């Protein structure tokens, strides 16, 4: 299956690992039973770098199942003081 991935903030450094990358967005090919966790593995994301993941605008966990054509967005953890 093919899903669209959008990376925000410092996570944009992983966009080079996506197919047809443009700006902060690209595509990834996964097996038909893939979950969000499979995207982490495919592009080398660390779990502790990501604060929020959403699929088509709905916040989800790492075990959420994917469907062809989904838009999966990754938002980084933020720090400050």
**Alpha carbon of residue 59 to chain centroid:** 12
CATH of the domain at 8: 3.10.20.30
In a domain, 81, yes or no: no
Q: Are strands 50-55 and 25-29 parallel, antiparallel or unpaired?
A: unpaired
The number of domains in the chain is: 1
Half-sphere exposure of 79 (CA within 13 A, CB side): 4
- In the predicted structure, residue 8 carries a pLDDT above the cut 70: yes
Please report the pLDDT score of residue 80 as a whole number: 64
Give the model's confidence band at 14: pLDDT under 50 very low, under 70 low, under 90 confident, else very high.
Answer: very high
Write out pLDDT tens, residues 62-79. 999 999 999 999 999 886
């Amino acid at each position: 299956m093919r899903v669209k991935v959008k990376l925000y903030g410092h996570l944009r450094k992983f966009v080079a690992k996506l197919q047809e990358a443009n700006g902060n967005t690209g595509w990834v090919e996964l097996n038909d039973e893939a979950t969000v966790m499979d995207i982490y593995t495919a592009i080398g994301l660390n779990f502790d770098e990501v604060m929020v993941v959403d699929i088509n605008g709905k916040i989800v966990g790492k075990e959420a199942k994917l469907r062809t054509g989904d838009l999966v967005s990754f938002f980084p953890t933020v720090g400050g003081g």
